[in-house]
Amino acid sequence: MEAAPVGKEETAGLARRAWELYVKHGQEVLHFEAGRNPITDAEILAYLVHDDGQLRVPVLVRGGLLVRGYTEELYARVFGGEGR
């Protein structure tokens, strides 16, 4: 777990290295895949960087997967169902 703030450039680097991203935005979950619909720089700023220039939390990075936001439904969708 990272305890230090993560700035805009480091956040962009995390997003660009991810092969798959799930971003909770309001009531919907946005899904980006590097090979099909990669996240743009504008989307990185809008969905992952807070107005203060730091990474919006919570964020989970696991290998090439980045998940921004948390709900039980989102984690069940990303990690394959309930009870895992």
Is the pLDDT score of 77 beyond 60?
Answer: yes
pLDDT over 90 (residue 53):
yes
Q: What is the mean pLDDT of the chain?
A: 90
Full 3-state SS string of 8-25: HHHHHHHHHHCCEEEEEE
Q: What is the pLDDT of residue 82?
A: 53
Q: How confident is the model at residue 42, as a pLDDT? A: 96
> Would you kindly state where each structural domain of the chain is located, as residue ranges?
1-62
Q: Is the distance from CB of 55 to CB of 10 less than 8 angstroms?
A: yes
The tens digit of pLDDT for each residue in 19-49 reads 999 999 999 999 999 999 999 999 999 999 9
Q: What is the pTM of this model?
A: 0.86
